[in-house]
Amino acid sequence: MATIQSETDCYDIIEVLGKGTFGEVAKGWRRSTGEMVAIKILKNDAYRNRIIKNELKLLRCMRGLDPDEAHVIRFLEFFHDALKFYLVFELLEQNLFEFQKENNFAPLPARHIRTVTLQVLRALARLKELAIIHADLKPENIMLVDQTRCPFRVKVIDFGSASIFSEVRYVKEPYIQSRFYRAPEILLGLPFCEKVDVWSLGCVMAELHLGWPLYPGNNEYDQVRYICETQGLPKPHLLHNARKTHNFFKRNPHPDATNPWQLKSSADYLAETKVIDFGSASIFSEVRYVKEPYIQSRFYRAPEILLGLPFCEKVDVWSLGCVMAELHLGWPLYPGNNEYDQVRYICETQGLPKPHLLHNARKTHNFFKRNPHPDATNPWQLKSSADYLAETKVRPLERRKYMLKSLDQIETVNGGVAASRLTFPDREALAEHADLKSMVELIKRMLTWESHERISPSAALRHPFVSMQQLRSTHETTRYYQLSLRSCRLSLQARKPPVGSKSDSNFSNLIRLSQASPEDDGPCRGSGWEEGERAGASAEPPAILQRDGDGPSIKDMTMDAGRAGSELFDPSSCPGEWLNEPDWTLEGVRGARAQGLPPRHSHPHKPPRATSFLQHVGGHH
């Protein structure tokens, strides 16, 4: 067990929790306090030095925040030695992606999605007060604090990609936001603000409901194409001003068309993607084996690269063959989610590699195992998907599970009302379905092409889905509403409420969100493209977020949540079976599995590769 020491403390490293592009995260024991902590460890070099300086600057800006009330991770200290940098944080349980994976990517009920969304919106609202853009919001960067004791209480982590709003308006770095959660203004090369985080949160909400990323593009063209399929084309003035318009769009040949631009077809995109990038090229005499972590884009990667064999210029011939097939098919020939998928797809069309290749390849055991039948023609056989998953914990996946034509179709995924009726009967089904519709409306307000039309965090906090205004007005007596209320209350309790405390039990009074002024982007306004048709961000933060003046602060709101906790949900007034409902705590899911029961909202059917959305919802082509 290694030990590291700062000027003020000493830490014993217990285990490595995970590794990433920039370093690793370890679990450690802090000797001065006896608490377990998370230690982010990065190599001490010039590139990571710049990343660390940026993250430290942002963490220092956030020192005035209460991490529990602002739902951001608690930063403890920073130190370094000659070889490595160390950032010490509080230890949290697991991120949302790990939670989804542990639960077989089963869709999350809307009431739990609201609980998560409310907390992340509060985090974004506090970051906006400090003019901070997170710029990498995704399930991996939203952590569950303690799922057993406080289900779905979350905190936002990882400020390595964050920036101060006044310091950045255009993308100057090669990377901002993970691709699946990348906002249109980043994709198109437009000025951006903190609303890129709202876009990312909308994508996360949809993913929690779908059990699958909403826009899982293999490249930026795919991202733009997927968004166009659900939101339509960007307005002409956006494309006129964007720096990267010609990467994805071309002029409409019809002069009388409503929009002078049209999206390039996949064939256009491939045909115009000329041989221009020689960043991965090499002199043949200088390289025979793969020495770098990356060579050739995965869809077009040659077998010798995949298997770890000597290679020559013919790897480019393989890639060209894949491109030719793609131009004819209108779809990549081998669109693997990982290298195992690539090998599996190739084996399905070309058969297994010959034995001598597998005998000499360095990576054979990544994909193949010995054939148990000694008289078999080939002594090797491809590992099954189950074998690969068991060995690597990486699930072979298709890129898109649902071919959505509009964001409204999110509502019909997984059975819509029918799925609700399986969860809550009769009027409970109506309450859950109404909640689902409200959630989809919020996602649509988050996922707009134009950032100024996108709902702001403070306005999203007043949206009926988050404030539960609509549920309270029409479904207040339902079990579904009470459970939703309870879930939100628990997530907002940063500390135990005082004994005998009194407060209004109305949820809108608890978080003070539903009384939007006419100027604010209140929930009742339209959702058109034009400013005025749809709700835009308010120019000033609402009263609840004011730092000066009479309006209550975020701290006031959280304290109200604690004071109101005992009256918001009274267990003694509920039937016993309500309190015993199997929930999405880790213990609950594990207990259900131990009894042979499927977890709530589990998928009995996994669709095949490249199946259309209409097939999943019972429609017809």
- Distance between CA atoms of 472 and 468, rounded to whole angstroms? 6
Percent of the chain scoring above 70 in pLDDT: 66
| Residues 165-213: tens digit of each pLDDT | 766 554 444 468 899 999 999 999 998 889 999 999 999 999 999 999 9
Contact 521, 528 (CB under 8 A): no
Pull the structure tokens for residue 70.
Answer: 């602002």
Domain spanning 284-392: CATH 3.20.20.70: no
Which amino acid makes up residue 454? Answer: R
Q: Which CATH number fits domain 3-91: 3.40.50.2000, 3.30.200.20, 3.40.50.10860, 3.30.420.130?
A: 3.30.200.20
Compute CA 139 distance to the chain's CA centroid, rounded to the nearest angstrom: 4
Letter for the amino acid at 487? S
Determine whether the annotation assigns residue 40 to a binding site. yes
The single residue listed with the structure tokens 């034009």 is: 530
Q: Domain boundaries in the chain?
A: 3-91, 96-216+402-594, 284-392
* Separation of alpha carbons 283 and 312, rounded Å: 10
Burial of 363 (0-12, 13-18, 19+ CB in 10 A): middle
User: Is residue 256 scored above 80 in pLDDT?
Assistant: no
Angle between the N-to-C axes of helices 110-129 and 479-492, in degrees from 0 to 180, rounded to the nearest 10: 30
Identify whether the C-beta of residue 442 lies closer than 8 Å to the C-beta of residue 455: yes
Q: Which residues contact 540 (CB under 8 A, 6 or more apart)?
A: none
User: How many angstroms separate the CA atoms of 196 and 456, rounded?
Assistant: 10
The per-residue pLDDT of the chain, averaged, comes to 73
- Across the strands, what pairs with 43? 84
User: Could you give the C-alpha distances from 611 to 60, 348, 398, 614, in angstroms and in order?
Assistant: 48, 18, 10, 8
Give the CATH superfamily of 96-216+402-594. Answer: Transferase(Phosphotransferase) domain 1 (1.10.510.10)
Active-site residue set: 136
What whole-number percentage of the chain has pLDDT above 90? 37
Tokens coding 41? 């460890």
Same fold, 3-91 and 284-392: no
Q: What is the mean pLDDT of residues 550-564?
A: 30
Classify residue 23 as left (phi > 0), alpha (psi -120 to 50) or beta.
left
pLDDT(280) > 70: no
More confident residue, 28 or 346: 28
Task: Check residues 314 and 364 and name the one with the higher pLDDT.
Answer: 364
Residue 252 one-letter amino acid: N
Torsion of CA 563, 568, 572, 578, to 10 degrees: -140
Give which of 161, 170, 216 is closest to 193, Cα–Cα.
170
Which of 64-73, 252-261, 338-347 reaches the highest mean pLDDT? 64-73
Calculate mean pLDDT across residues 362-373.
Answer: 89
Does 611 or 12 have the greater pLDDT score?
12
Highest mean pLDDT among 222-226, 286-290, 615-619: 222-226
Task: With beta carbons less than 8 A apart as the criterion, state whether 413 and 601 touch.
Answer: no
pLDDT at residue 361 greater than cutoff 90: no
Nearest to 213 by CA among 221, 223, 228: 223
Length of the chain: 621
